[in-house]
Each structure stands twice: as C-alpha cells, then as structure tokens.
Amino acid sequence: MHAGVAPGQDTEVDEALAAWIVDRVRAGEPPEAVLAPLVEDGWSEDAAIDAVERVTRRFLEQHALDQGLPVPVRVPAPIVGNGSAVLDAGDRRVHVLASLLHPRVIVFGGLLSDDECDALVEVAGKRLSRSATFNLDSGVDEVHEGRTSQGMFFERGADALCRRIEARIATLLDWPVDHGEGLQVLRYGPGAQYRPHHDYFDPQRPGTKALLARGGQRVASLVMYLNTPACGGATTFPDARFEVAPVKGNAVFFSYDRPHPMTGTLHGGAPVVSGEKWVATKWLRERRYV
C-alpha cells in the first residue's frame, strides 16, 4: 500500500493515504483493520494510530460543517469491537454484557458490589427531595412532570465511598476523575419514571452558556443500578428500540459526541411497575468540571 510518508514519521499524510483511510472508516472497518496495513508497511503502532485519528477527525469535522451540524468531540471509549469481555477497573473486574455501536451504549456487569450499592442507598436515603431538571431557558432547577423520582447529589469526592467509585469509573472509562460531575442518586417508587430525554445541553438555549463554562458539554453518562426492582424500571433507548434491565451492581454507559439527536441517545427511565428502583448517575464532561 502507498503510505504517503516515511514509516513512523509524525507528520501529515498525503491525500492518497488520507482518502484510503476515510474509505476504510466509511466502510465500517474496525480500527485494527485500518491500522494493520500501516504497521505492515513499517509504521510504528503509535504513529499509525495518530495518523488514522487525525485523518478521521478532519473528515468528521468537515462533514459536520458541510451539513450544518455540531462538530464532534472526543468521548470516552472504554472498549473496542469484539474485545475482552472482562475489563480491569483498577480495584475490580467488570464484565461487558452488551454493546451497541449506534447509539454507543455499553452494559457493564458487576461495576458495584452489593455492599457499595447498599451504602449509597443508606446515605442518600436520608437526603432525598423531589427531583428537578435544569430549565435551560430560565436558568434554574425546576420540578418537571416528566421526572417523578426523588434524588440528591454528592459533591465529587464527597467521602471515601464516592472517591473509590469515581476512581473505578475513571479507570474503566479512561476519563479523568475531574472531568466528571458528582454522583446523583435517584429513587423511583411505584409508577415513577423519567420520560425520554437527552443528557447533553442544548446549545441554542439561553441557560446553556453558564453550564458549559463549568467544564464544557456532557459527553457521556453512566447509570448504575443500586437495587433490582421487582418489576419495571428499565432504561430505554427509543431510537434503538433497546432497553436495559435494572440489575443491582450493573450499569449502562452511553456517549454522545455532539449535542444533537443524531447521536441516538434519547433515553428514559420506564415506570416502576412493582417495588422501587435506586440508581446512581455519573455525567462526564469535555473538560475539567468545576
């Protein structure tokens, strides 16, 4: 194959190689299949990865601009296609139970221990109030009929338990601890739900500017299940016709590389039919969250 530059050079690739990379990516080839010919040509693996990432990024940015869409940003990418089913999260081994490419959704098994789940429920249960949503027009938190849970927020690093879980998440998702908001714990009683919504902040709304100043856009969400409801309470992704059962200790991760419905990350908490559901949510930002 025509490599465009001397193997391993940290420089721009030529148009022919760039076109070849874009063709492979658009065809849906996995990263390893795109990198392999470069490495076989004598490129170092790091140089090949850098070249593919730079070319792909330029293509995606130009495509977004041509289509009048938001430019994509880097998001957490904890697994590769057809990779290991068991991941090292530092102090715990976590299983990959399911993976969707679009929307980018990953279901993790055993992210939290039973004791950790119980401890979060015990501490949070003493501080619950009716959940609110941030009104991007008024700039204040408001109770909304579409969200019928009770909840509370922990400050990032609030106690030893939070710090341990946050460090585990950072290792699992390869995303810095300080690029995340504090944990939010929610309780859904019988009939409670959270109707389908997006987690990113709409850049067209007047209240968004202040939120973005604290760490940029949200780029991913991690919902951890602190108990297993008797019935109901699934996390739903209507665009993908996919739902995740709430199982104690498990979690669902989803990322969104731009604040646009094209990410397919419309999601909701289906009504609890019987019993109650407890979850802890971690939102990740582009930059350091302050």
CATH of the domain at 94: 2.60.120.620
Residues counted in the chain:
290
How buried is residue 250: exposed, middle or buried, by Cβ count under 10 Å (0-12/13-18/19+)? buried
Q: Are residues 93 and 58 in the same domain?
A: no
Does residue 8 carry a pLDDT above 70? Answer: no
Counting the structural domains of the chain, the total is 2
Does residue 15 carry a pLDDT above 70? Answer: yes
Q: Which of 62-66, 89-93, 176-180, 192-196 shows the lowest mean pLDDT across its residues? A: 62-66
Residue 50's contacts (CB-CB under 8 Å, 6 or more residues apart) are 10
Q: Are residues 90 and 207 in the same domain?
A: yes
Residue 102 lies in a domain: yes
The distance of Cα 283 from the centroid of its chain, to the nearest Å, equals 7
Residue 143's pLDDT band (cuts 50, 70, 90):
low
pTM of this prediction? 0.84
Higher model confidence: residue 85 or residue 145? 85
How far is 281 from 223, CA to CA, in rounded Å? Answer: 4
Residue 260's contacts (CB-CB under 8 Å, 6 or more residues apart) are 69, 70
Residue 7 lies in a domain: no
pLDDT tens per residue across span 206-222? 989 999 999 999 999 99
Q: Are residues 198 and 281 in the same domain?
A: yes
Residue 90 lies in a domain: yes
Q: Are residues 141 and 268 in the same domain?
A: yes
State which residues form the domain around 222. Answer: 86-285
Residue 74 lies in a domain: no
Q: Are residues 54 and 138 in the same domain?
A: no
How far is 56 from 216, CA to CA, in rounded Å? Answer: 22
> So what's the pLDDT on residue 7?
45
